């Protein structure tokens, strides 16, 4: 970003329409360096700029990159139909900024979900050409057997898929626990692969994307954080 008027800065950060942002500024709700700033026409450098709006500190970011620990019963859609949308777990500014999920997790699947308002980032992360491994922990109805693991590693045929889909790695983590790594992002893929291999998925959790793990972020269910460049590099 570069030098912008204060009302445009607030608008770019998702605080509302330009008219509303001007009113916030004129009402003294925007504080910079400890003092209310009431001139919305003032221009300032956005690099490293920190605003306090309604008493909350806000670091100005040209684009946002977010990791969310998605709970169950939230939909990865801007227009959810049966459950609340994941955007309700973020500050309202994120909706104004047109933040979107990067790919989708089923409403009953938990774990790491990336979100951003950076179109090229979303496209790159969603592209099947990237071959980025995603780690899932699956709870199965039937015990995990060596034969099940062999099938998932060899590949199983799914309806409407031209070729069998195989896991990159597949490891038993308990009698009914399976860790599976996929690089595709097909619809209900883990659940459908387990069903095709003769088992059933009772619960599913995504614990990592690339080398970025949910544990390293320290997020409880429903919590989120901004990702810095070093963390985003782990997604490659």
Q: Distance between CA atoms of 93 and 1, rounded to whole angstroms?
A: 18
Owner of token pair 């045929």: 157
DSSP conformational letter for 184: -
Check: CB of residue 61 under 8 Å from CB of residue 12.
Answer: no
What b-and-e string marks burial along 140-150, b requiring 16 or more CB atoms within 10 Å of the CB?
beeebeeebbe
Q: Of the residues 27, 33, 47, 106, which is catalytic? A: 106
Task: Give strand ranges (E) for 11-122.
Answer: 30-32, 35-36, 43-45, 50-53, 56-59, 65-70, 100-101, 110-116
Asked whether 57 and 64 are in contact (CB, 8 A), the reply is no
Residue 100 forms beta bridges with which residues?
116
Decide: residue 30, CB within 10 A, 0-12 exposed, 13-18 middle, 19+ buried: buried
- Annotated active-site residue 106? The verdict is yes
List active site positions. Answer: 106
């Amino acid at each position: 970003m570069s030098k912008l008027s204060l009302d445009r800065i607030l608008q770019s950060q998702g605080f509302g329409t330009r008219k509303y942002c001007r009113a916030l500024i004129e009402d003294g709700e925007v504080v910079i360096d400890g003092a209310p700033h009431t001139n919305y026409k003032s221009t300032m450098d956005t690099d490293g700029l920190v605003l306090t709006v309604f008493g909350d500190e806000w670091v100005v970011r040209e684009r946002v990159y977010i990791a969310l620990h998605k709970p169950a019963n939230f939909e990865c859609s801007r227009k959810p139909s049966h459950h609340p949308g994941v955007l309700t777990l973020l500050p309202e500014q994120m909706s104004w900024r047109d933040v979107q999920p990067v790919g989708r997790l089923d409403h009953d699947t938990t774990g790491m979900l990336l979100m951003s308002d950076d179109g090229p980032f979303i496209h790159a992360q969603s592209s099947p050409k990237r071959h980025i491994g995603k780690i899932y922990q699956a709870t199965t109805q039937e015990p995990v057997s060596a034969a099940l693991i062999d099938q998932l590693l060899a590949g199983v045929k799914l309806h409407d898929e031209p070729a069998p889909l195989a896991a990159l790695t597949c490891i038993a983590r308990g009698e009914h626990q399976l860790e599976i790594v996929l690089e595709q992002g097909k619809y209900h893929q883990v659940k459908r692969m387990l069903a095709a291999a003769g088992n059933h998925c009772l619960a599913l959790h995504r614990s990592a994307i690339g080398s970025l793990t949910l544990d390293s972020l320290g997020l409880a269910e429903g919590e989120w954080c901004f990702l810095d460049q070093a963390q985003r590099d782990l997604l490659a």
